[in-house]
Structure 1
Amino acid sequence: MEEAEIKIYTKEQLNSFEKQFSSTNLLTAFKLGRPLGARVGKAFCLLWSDIDWKKKTIKVTKQLVLEDKMWTLRNTKTVASIYDLNLQEDIYNYLKELKATLDRQKAELGLAYRKTRVAIDRGRNKAKEIVEDLDFINVK
């Protein structure tokens, strides 16, 4: 079996990626994934309730996968995949500012504020539940 080549990006390349993402809904996932090493499916499923603002940590307990043509929130495959990540100061400050901005938008827009609709996988042989009221960090 051939080993996959590990690609290491320079700081300049990473900054260029961040600039490209700055006007998209991918920016927050990129900002979380870059220093924390969070995978895309984990970066997109993080909820505001996963953050411990006092300890400056974020708990990773689930993943978001595309399944049966719908985004599905499910538990991680193993217990080892559940962990707390320490938030670096710049990420912590970015998230505090983002939370304040989103809270202002929700207050201003009321019912017009767009909610993310996902399915929740409740386990083997159980029907998925469609929810719209989860407070995701990454929003469109």
Structure 2
Amino acid sequence: MGRWSYRKKEMEVWTEDEVRRFLYAAESHRIYGAFHLAVTIGMRMGEILGFRWSDIDFTKRTLSVSQALSKAEKGYMMQEPKTKSGKRNIALSLSSLVILERHKRVQAAEKLRAGSMYQDQGLVFASGVGTPLGARNFTRVYHSLRKKAGVTQINFHSIRHTHATLMLKQGVHPKIVSERLGYANISITLNTYSHVIPGLQQAAVDNFDDALFGSKPVDKKAMVEE
């Protein structure tokens, strides 16, 4: 029972309006791009804090997930995904590319200000001197911005669930959602987001009905005469 209750709590997600409100509240922060990617891609915190500029292909509009930042005995370390599916390429939206390009300019200005103190590790989201951002500080910033936005209290990982839930509601195939999140198979996606499936089924039935019959009524009289 305890495990089920925990999962139900973890699956709390934001509405489209709450997503917009949160991003608006976060827009002026130096690592706004990290929160934008969390919403538009559904990456895990460690993946966001661990990927490098070399992982982004601005021409093909893809982001390669091949490592994640995790806490070590002393400081932090990079770890490869635990599963084969965790290592993946994710398609980027045009808005994500714009945000990333803007963040790159902000980071370039920070490098100039820091001078020789800057420890360039190629990280997309780093401290003002290039070092990795710790999960604790990142989480603190997130909750501060969440409160500022006045949206539902969810943990950062639930933004990942928000991304998946909104995509499924928009009619994106579960297999595509599964690939973006890095799940081992589609059944995990279907089980995890089973709360969305009933609504999808109703929408699918309505779309099928509309495609087959449209607004044209069935001529029952003609059917009888035939």
- TM-score normalised by the chain length of structure 2: 0.49
Q: How far 1:61 moved relative to its partner? A: 0.3
TM-superposition CA deviations, 1:13-59 (whole Å, max 9, x none): 22232234335455222111111110111111110000011101010
- Greater helix share, structure number: 2
User: Out of 31, 42, 57, which is 1:37 matched to?
Assistant: 42
Alignment-derived partner of residue 60 in structure 1: 65
Tell me which residue corresponds to 1:82: 87
Q: Is 1:2 aligned with 2:22?
A: no
Residue 134 (structure 1) aligned with residue 121 (structure 2): yes
Supply the AA of the counterpart residue of 2:58: W
Distance in 1 between the 2:73 and 2:110 partners? 31
Q: CA–CA distance in 2 between the matches of 1:24 and 1:74?
A: 27
Unaligned runs of 5+ in 1: 116-132
RMSD (CA atoms): 2.1
Instruction: State the match for 2:75 in structure 1.
Output: 70
User: Displacement of 1:108 after TM fit?
Assistant: 4.9
1:101 alignment partner AA: V
Counterpart of 1:137, as a letter, is V
Contact 1:25–1:138, Cα closer than 8 Å, also in 2? no
Once the two structures are TM-superposed, the CA of residue 109 in structure 1 deviates from its matched residue by 4.0
Matched, 1:46 2:55: no
Distance 2:97 2:45 in 1: 19
1:95 aligns with 2:100: yes
CA distance in 1, matches of 2:52, 2:90: 14
Count of aligned pairs between the two proteins: 122
The question of whether the paired residues in 2 share the 8 Å contact of 1:52 and 1:58 is answered with: yes
3-state secondary structure, aligned to 2:68: strand
Q: Which runs of 5+ in 2 are unaligned?
A: 128-226
Higher alpha-carbon Rg: 2
Given that 1:32 and 1:38 are in contact with CA atoms closer than 8 Å, whether structure 2 keeps it comes out as yes
Q: Percent identity?
A: 23
Matched residue type, 2:13? I
TM-score, normalised to structure 1, is 0.75
Matched letter for residue 93 of structure 1: V
Query: Structure 1 residue 89: deviation in Å?
Result: 0.3
Q: CA offsets per residue over residues 72-115 of structure 1, 9 Å max, x none?
A: 111111221100011100010111121123224324542143x3
Between Structure 1 and Structure 2, the one with more strand by share is 1
Do 1:25 and 1:139's aligned partners in 2 also have CA atoms closer than 8 Å? no
